[in-house]
């Protein structure tokens, strides 16, 4: 990618977790980062963290991961489910980066967990609205700016985009859809040399586990007792975990470094696996269905 076009990038879902780590890491690496967040409070928190990083002495800043050196970071209000919010963000980025976007990182996402039988239609609809329709809406809005800079698109998927496991059916459906959409985009945008990569992390040490647990708890509290009893043992295991992620979850900065590679490699991969769970999912996915069911179950 030409150096002149290696500047401005947009990261959605940058309030915390992978998005926050990616926004800070890319700014550290010299990018001008527009970090999409949903609230003024999140914007202030992210900006304060970036400012604290910049205030460190140079020698110390070079030694600490996740600190800013050469680039800049600008928090940007962006709700991927709100057409007006997307249009305003596109206008803001277009004015601030008239040379176009070197990269769009579609990271915003939620996890709706629970047995499919117990999930209400509105919860499944919300899952798809954020993780699939939101990605399409943002990509569609920013493609003119990406085309201007001959930039790249990086979609953050998951190991669940390869294999579905119990209690993650709605989430896996959204990531399977994101994988398919990424494949189609990669072929459709080839005439303009716009590369599309998918990053597939396994378990990541982020607040998404706690938020997923809280969301599942609220949903299950509305389920009639006779249906809850059908899944009583599984619900009890969920409550014992209290939203804790797997002990082998990896830090989000590892995903951020892979996203940087997808943006800067001369010939980026179409898919990047990050973490043990992602590699295991890749190994399990080709197994015969019944055998895979036994492994995952």
The candidate with the shortest Cα–Cα distance to 32, out of 7, 2, 5, is: 7
171 is catalytic: yes
State both tokens at 136. 């399409």
Q: CA-to-CA distance for 106 and 126, rounded, in angstroms?
A: 17
Q: What are phi and psi of 74, to 5 degrees?
A: -130, 115
Dihedral of CA atoms 136, 50, 203, 126 in degrees, nearest 10, equals -40
Contact between 62 and 293 (Cβ < 8 Å): no
H/E element holding 76? strand 72-77
Tally of CB atoms within 10 A around 188: 11
Structural Rg of the chain based on CA atoms: 19
The arrangement of strands across the sheet holding 72-77 comes to 72-77, 32-37, 8-11, 103-106, 152-156, 195-201, 271-274
List the catalytic residue out of 31, 142, 171, 231.
171
Contact between 213 and 245 (Cβ < 8 Å): no
Tally of CB atoms within 10 A around 180: 12
Q: CA-to-CA distance for 197 and 132, rounded, in angstroms?
A: 16
Q: CA-to-CA distance for 255 and 7, rounded, in angstroms?
A: 20
Q: What residues are paired with 272 via a beta bridge?
A: 199
Active site residues: 171
């Amino acid at each position: 990618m030409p150096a002149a076009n290696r500047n401005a990038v947009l990261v959605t879902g940058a309030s915390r977790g992978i998005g926050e780590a990616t926004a800070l890491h890319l700014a550290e690496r010299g990018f001008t980062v527009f970090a999409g967040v949903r609230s003024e409070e999140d914007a202030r928190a992210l900006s304060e963290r970036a400012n604290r990083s910049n205030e460190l002495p140079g020698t110390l800043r070079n030694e600490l991961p996740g600190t800013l050196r050469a680039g800049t970071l600008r928090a940007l209000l962006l709700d991927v489910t709100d057409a007006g919010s997307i249009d305003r963000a596109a206008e803001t980025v277009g004015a601030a980066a008239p040379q176009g976007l070197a990269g769009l990182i579609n990271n915003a996402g939620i996890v709706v967990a629970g047995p499919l039988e117990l999930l209400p239609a509105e919860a499944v609809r919300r899952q798809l609205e954020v993780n699939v329709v939101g990605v399409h809406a943002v990509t569609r809005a920013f493609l003119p700016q990406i085309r201007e800079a001959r930039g790249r698109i990086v979609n953050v998927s998951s190991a669940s985009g390869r294999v579905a496991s119990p209690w993650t059916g709605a989430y896996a459906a959204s990531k399977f859809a994101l994988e398919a959409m990424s494949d189609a985009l990669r072929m459709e945008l080839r005439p303009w040399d716009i590369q599309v990569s998918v990053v597939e992390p396994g378990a990541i040490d982020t607040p998404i586990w706690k938020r997923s647990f809280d969301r599942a708890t609220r949903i299950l509290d509305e389920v009639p007792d006779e249906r809850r009893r059908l899944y009583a043992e599984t619900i009890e295991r969920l409550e014992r975990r209290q939203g804790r992620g797997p002990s082998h979850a990896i830090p989000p900065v590892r995903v951020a470094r892979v996203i940087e590679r997808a943006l800067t490699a001369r010939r980026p991969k179409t898919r990047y696996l990050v973490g043990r769970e992602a590699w295991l999912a890749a190994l399990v996915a080709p197994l015969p269905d019944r055998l895979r069911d036994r492994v995952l179950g």
